Amino acid sequence: MAESVAGSSADHSPDPSRRDFIHIAVVAAAAGGVAAIAWPFVDQMNPSSDTLALSSIEYDVAKVPLGQQVTVLYRKQPLFVRHRTPAEIAKAVADDHADLRDPATDASRVKPGKDEWLILIGVCTHLGCTPTFGGGEWGGWFCPCHGSQYDTSGRIRKGPAPKNLAVPDYKFETGTKIKVG
């Protein structure tokens, strides 16, 4: 207050730096307020609590016969539970050091001692379609949308997809029961 009295007593022209300060302060406060209220309007589109609550499932893999695959719904997406034959495993291991787009060994994609069980998210890493088993040159999965081909370890071998079929976070709770997510 003392300064403002002193300023106004000196001459009646406004102090430009003080005018600038109040302009900047007002604009900053308004911008901060707008940004703060904008976030709820943006974030409301992110997954809601009930959607997030569906994030883990349990499955007994013993239900899948040898050489077969079961597709389970996990986070509203297909989850492949494949009971691999020794031939499929051998083929996957043999290609560990082939020219891979997204290099990974077969062992890194299964749990130790459980390499007959391949658990994958059944979503093509290109544009999200669900690949079908048994198609393509590598005896793994084939995506009907844009022709991506995966091998028996779910690794990308041909086509536009950039990455291997994703292995979700899971663990064996008992000998045959897995918990995904």
The yes-or-no answer on residue 146 being catalytic is yes
Count of residues binding other proteins (CB under 8 A)?
32
**Pair of tokens at residue 79:** 């989850």
Task: Give CA–CA dist 165/47, Å, rounded.
Answer: 23
Helix (H, G, I), strand (E, B) or coil at 75: coil
Is the Cβ of residue 4 or residue 55 nearer to other proteins in the bound state? 55
Among 7, 57, 78, 166, the residue binding other proteins under the rule CB under 8 A is 78
Binding characters for other proteins, 24-63, by CB under 8 A (x = yes):
------------------x--xxxx--x---x--------
State yes or no: residue 155 binds other proteins (CB under 8 A).
Answer: no
Task: Give CA–CA dist 168/180, Å, rounded.
Answer: 7
Helix (H, G, I), strand (E, B) or coil at 116: coil
State yes or no: residue 129 binds other proteins (CB under 8 A).
Answer: yes
Task: Give CA–CA dist 56/113, Å, rounded.
Answer: 23
Nearest CA-CA partner of 131 in 144, 120, 116: 144
Binding site residues, other proteins, CB under 8 A: 42, 45-48, 51, 55, 71, 73, 75-78, 122-123, 126-132, 143-147, 158-162
